[in-house]
Structure 1
């Protein structure tokens, strides 16, 4: 992959621990929705982050970087960006990108894994393809679902898109689904034989999704997630 130097256009908070990073490359970049960028920190130190914008929106690179206290892996990237005002990345990494094969799509995100599914969602809605797509986004608390209002608006405007927010530790005011996000998906689908599933989150979640969903008929060739290259 060729390396691209980008200006850091902005770093703004999405939550107390998640930052939205906007990078501006010198020219449009080529990637597929669902692929990730590698931030170059050193000759042998490249750190992956999902690209949150769609592939058609390729004059910029949007990253959602979670850097809770103690997470030096992500924190150092943000520090470098703030200090230098520019960063080198390469894009077009990963094989878990959007596949348009006509099957209804289920997107499952945990935490900032949402950025992966957000790219796919935006690409799909822009394409004019009316294949049904459902996005399940799980977080520990409602505030962790930082673009929930935007997703609700998109669902109201697009009949073929359904958004299902899931909160693990819900407050009394929460009216939506609770518990683990993959349990919410299983409650809605008794049979996965004729769907595509895209998943982004912790490796442990991805493994459970693969194990549980394939037992309900999901074909391995219809399961996508960068985690599966490692587990």
Structure 2
């Protein structure tokens, strides 16, 4: 990993909690879609965030920070962005990056785990356009799916890409999946052999995905997520 000084170009609220942060690194950052960086808050305090932007745009780094004041771990990073306008990062890190393959790919993201998914989605469309790709993004409400309209538009523009939103709490006019995001995948797909799965979210979700998806034919060698380095 390299130590890189970054200027904060912008912070934009996406929801009442989630903010999109754009960083300008002092030199282009080379990374693979699905990798993450660490924000250096202190010598022994380095906080990981997925890189949401595509590797083809190395001059700008996009982060999605879920900064609930109750979650000081992320909130302090957002506060530093706003107050100081600069960050020191270490990057790139992570082995759960997009593989070059002809296998159909499924991305399963919970909440701001979408930042991991977004980089993979953008890179796959750009460099593997003929590959079948499905994104399942789950959140508590439709309002928490802060790039819903952009993803719907993308799915209309790219026939090999399908966006499947999942919410825990739905309005009366909602006709999509309701409940946990990984359960929506299992409702739609009963045979996961010959597929690759990329996932980001709570560790509990990642552990359940490993157990339940592999029981339906998914090879552990084709399951990717940063959580699997720890669980």
Q: TM-score, normalised by structure 2?
A: 0.98
Please give the residue correspondences for 1:128-167 in structure 2 after superposition, counting only pairs within 5 Å. Answer: 128-167=128-167
Q: CA deviation at 1:129?
A: 3.0
Matched with 2:203 is 203
Cα distance between partner residues in 2 of 1:223 and 1:45: 29
Matched with 2:89 is 89
Cα distance between partner residues in 2 of 1:31 and 1:228: 20
Cα distance between partner residues in 1 of 2:134 and 2:181: 13
Cα distance between partner residues in 2 of 1:157 and 1:144: 23
Q: TM-score, normalised by structure 1?
A: 0.98
Please give the residue correspondences for 1:4-83 in structure 2 after superposition, counting only pairs within 5 Å. Answer: 4-83=4-83
Contact persistence 2:4–2:89 (CA under 8 A): yes
Measured against aligned partners, the alpha-carbon deviations of 1:49-105 in whole angstroms (never above 9, x if no partner) come to 000001111111100000113110001111111121111011210000000121000
Measured against aligned partners, the alpha-carbon deviations of 1:141-200 in whole angstroms (never above 9, x if no partner) come to 110100010000000000000000001111112222111111110111111111000000
Please give the residue correspondences for 1:102-121 in structure 2 after superposition, counting only pairs within 5 Å. Answer: 102-121=102-121
5+ unaligned residues in a row in structure 2: which ranges? none
Cα distance between partner residues in 1 of 2:2 and 2:57: 19
Matched with 1:126 is 126
Cα distance between partner residues in 2 of 1:179 and 1:203: 17
The more displaced of 114-123 and 76-85 is 76-85
Matched with 1:214 is 214
Aligned length: 231
Cα distance between partner residues in 2 of 1:94 and 1:128: 21
SS in 2 for 1:3: strand
Contact persistence 2:100–2:128 (CA under 8 A): no
SS in 2 for 1:57: coil
5+ unaligned residues in a row in structure 1: which ranges? none
Cα distance between partner residues in 1 of 2:150 and 2:22: 18
Measured against aligned partners, the alpha-carbon deviations of 1:95-146 in whole angstroms (never above 9, x if no partner) come to 0000012100000000000000000000011115311000000001110100
Matched with 1:187 is 187
The more displaced of 168-177 and 109-118 is 168-177
Displaced runs of 4 or more, over 3 A? none
